[in-house]
Amino acid sequence: MMSRAERSPLADWWWTVDRGLLAGLGCLMVAGLVFLMGGGPPVAERIGLPTFYFLNRQALYLAPTILLIIAVSFLSVRHIRRFALVTWIVGVALCIAAGKFGPEIKGAHRWIQFGPFGLQPSEFVKPAFVVVAAWAFSEGAQRRDMPGGLLAILLLPVTIVPLILQPDFGQTMLITMVWCALFFVAGLHWFWVAGLGVLGLTGVFAAYTFLHHVRERINRFMDRDSGDSFQEFWSRESFNSGGWFGTGPGEGVAKRHLPDAHTDFIFSVTGEEFGVLVCLGLVALFAYIVLRGLKLARRTDDTFSRLAITGLSTLFGLQACINMAVNTQLMPAKGMTLPFVSYGGSSLISLALGMGFLVALTRKRPRTTMLSQRPPGTLPSAVPGIMQ
């Protein structure tokens, strides 16, 4: 155990980091490996891979995931902003490249191939966008000579247009919802809240009208007999079969029919084999991490940190909610992974980046340190209304 008297960088990190947040993330990673033992083997065997291929790969990805969380959590607030800005620029550029040159997978161009390795750049855009948008909002709130609010507004279309063109409606919706949450926390007037709500509904209607795959998913969700509802049926059947206590590890049947049992529908597999009670425990774990982040956001005096922590916590929680809502038939299918539980290298590494930002921003920092990282000529203040 490290002593408080020790002044090494590692000791400083240990005594300033929020260990409750780290513990929650660690429990989630372990739970993901356990649940993947049930969902991964049937999919691997169906496509001719070794039985525990996905489990072994997930365990392999966890090593750089943990290292990235720890490495990013050492960054100062200034370096977090710069790192996020570079990541956002590169990520948006790669999203455009993926839409033009990426391979078509399930009717969309979302991936970039680097030899044998595939990368989904939109996953890395999400946490970087949250930090950059929080930066813009905070600068607009603190400096009258900085059009931060306008920059934050312009950031949204620049980010989501490449995603719409891929098309990736799920990630577009997630990023837009988090941006709206940031805008609200930054002091958005209720008049603008209503306006954003109308704009969002207009966007959904436009997507339903002009995007065939969106219209197909919504129609299938509203009317089970309107099309192929194979995944929806087995997702629903998994919870019916599992009941409160589950059929037992490895005894599930639905996972042998679900094509994405190791990714998008891992929550359904968990419900069948481990039961609804374990699923509720998993929901509670996600809720703990999100509420912990929001609680820490309230404690900070720095405007940027408060907004960024709120945005990153909201992003994490909304992604989990969307995945679980799809699995429980409360939403149409979105192709959204369950954070740290679903299989996926790009998903894990991007989550590590976002959680690294979150851990870094929630570290206990002396007030003098926060003040020294403000641009010259600015003063600390609460977040005022951007549009009153």
Total count of domains within the chain: 1
Whether residue 372 lies inside any domain: the answer is no
321: tokens are 């909610």
Whether residue 53 lies inside any domain: the answer is yes
Q: What pLDDT shows up at residue 43? A: 84
Whether residue 7 lies inside any domain: the answer is no
> What amino acid is encoded at 311 in this protein?
G
Q: What pLDDT shows up at residue 21? A: 92
Q: Give first-to-last CA distance, the chain, whole Å.
A: 51
Phi, psi (deg, nearest 5) at residue 7: -115, 25
Whether residue 224 lies inside any domain: the answer is yes
Whether residue 107 lies inside any domain: the answer is yes
In 3D space, the residue among 319, 318, 290, 303 whose CA is nearest the CA of residue 381 turns out to be 303
SS (H, E, C) the chain: CCCCCCCCHHHHHHHHCCHHHHHHHHHHHHHHHHHHHHHHHHHHHHCCCCCCHHHHHHHHHHHHHHHHHHHHHCCCHHHHHHHHHHHHHHHHHHHHHHHHHCCCECCECCCEEECCEEECHHHHHHHHHHHHHHHHHHHHHHCCCCCHHHHHHHHHHHHHHHHHHCCCHHHHHHHHHHHHHHHHHCCECHHHHHHHHHHHHHHHHHHHHHCHHHHHHHHHHHCHHHCCCHHHHHHHHHHHHHCCCCCCCCCCCHHHCCCCCCCCCHHHHHHHHHCHHHHHHHHHHHHHHHHHHHHHHHHCCCHHHHHHHHHHHHHHHHHHHHHHHHHCCCCCCCCCCCCCCCCCHHHHHHHHHHHHHHHHHCCCCCHHHHHHCCCCCCCCCCCCCCEC
Residues 249-299 have pLDDT tens digits of 877 777 787 777 788 888 888 888 888 899 999 999 999 999 999 999 988
Q: Provide the 10 A C-beta neighbour count for residue 369.
A: 13
> What amino acid is encoded at 238 in this protein?
S
Q: What pLDDT shows up at residue 219? A: 66
Q: What pLDDT shows up at residue 385? A: 40
Whether residue 113 lies inside any domain: the answer is yes
Q: Provide the 10 A C-beta neighbour count for residue 365.
A: 18
Whether residue 316 lies inside any domain: the answer is yes
Range of the domain at 284: 16-364
Q: Which residues of the chain have pLDDT under 50?
A: 368, 371-372, 379-388
**Considering the entire predicted model, what is its pTM?**
0.85
93 conformational bin, left if phi > 0, alpha if psi -120 to 50, beta if neither: alpha
Q: What pLDDT shows up at residue 255? A: 78
Angstrom distances, CA of residue 209 to CA of 6, 14, 110, 215, 224 = 62, 52, 22, 7, 20
Whether residue 248 lies inside any domain: the answer is yes
